[in-house]
Amino acid sequence: MSDGGDFALIVTSGSTEKEHVLAPTSSLPLDWDPEHLSAAIESAGVGLWWWNVETDEIAMDRRAYALWELREGSVATFEDLSAKIHPKDLDRVRAAFTATRAIVGPYEIDFRILSGDDIRWISTRGQGNDADIQKNVMRGIFLDVTGRKQAEEANQLLAGEMSHRVKNLLLVASQLAQITSRSAATTADMAQDLTRRLTALGRAHDLVRPRGGRPVEAALLGDLLAVLLHAYDDTDGSSGRIRVSVPRIDIGEAAATTLALVVHELATNSLKYGALSAECGTLDLGCTLQGDDVVVVWTERGGPAVVEPSAPAGYGSELIRRSMARQLGGSIAFDWSAGGLIVTLRMRRNRLAA
């Protein structure tokens, strides 16, 4: 420090040393008197405790008493505090409290306490092995770490949910690859069909995925159908050859994934053999509510003449039949009319919202 009370910073450069005098940046005091220390502790949200290891009495400061919801100035024991500790944490905290004096170095214990109908997390910290003990009194702090613990729990739930979703997507992708490989004539066809199927799932997921850490509200059935079918309209929607007219009906994530697969299979077949394969072909999707059922009618017009297949249903057709029955509690019916294919999808409304 220089003679004037300023700070001196010594900078070494090569073999020379240079002294730079730094004047104090403010008039704030540099000592820690009780008043300043108390203000710092208060701003940090720290509660102080004292434990007499001989009498087993625990005293605390105002903030710590408030944290435990005890009368300020009262003297308590661990047994008094244990009445407020969450039953699932009590044995662990009791064992840690007993071992406190034997712990070498600093320790930290996190546990839950009951606060009315709420649960709060407390972290207690101190020095073990009787470090800094004075007149049989050990000291430490309490911190309310409820916010941090809730964030950790949310992250764990999110990680578990993400793991579950990834496993489901990998399972779906594996099943789609098997189905596509059986129905495709060439590897190029397989790659194209599989890409379209996975892309359809991606579009459906975009509508129902969580955003900003919060679950998104249910998507609308009409929005989902419009987004899925947009990729099959080579006019980019300008000609109106694909029209969707659906009342406001909510659809959840699980149902959206299933319906995306069904719509993709129907649209792919239409693109290959039906109305979407012809320049003037059109596709209309209408929807009605019939009791507890949602009925979507898929109507193709202006395409090549259609004939009911004589061969057994392929893997794609079998996929959508099973999906409609198992996941959506409904059915699918085909009408090979002279004017074009008409498909009726019947689904339970409560299943759509799942």
All domains of the chain, ordered by start, with CATH? 37-144 (3.30.450.20), 153-352 (3.30.565.10)
The predicted structure's pLDDT at residue 235: 58
Answer whether 0.85 is exceeded by the pTM: no
Number of residues assigned to the chain: 354
The predicted structure's pLDDT at residue 175: 59
Q: Pick from 276, 244, 254: which is nearest to 340 by CA?
A: 276
45-54, 141-150, 182-191, 309-318, range with the lowest pLDDT:
309-318
Alpha helices, DSSP H only, in 209-252? 221-230
138-153 residues labelled b (16+ CB within 10 A) or e (exposed): bebbbbbbbeebeeee
pLDDT per position as a tens digit, 278-331: 888 999 999 999 999 999 999 999 999 888 887 766 656 777 888 889 889 999
Residue 245 predicted with pLDDT over 50? yes
Torsion 300-302-303-307 (CA) sign? positive
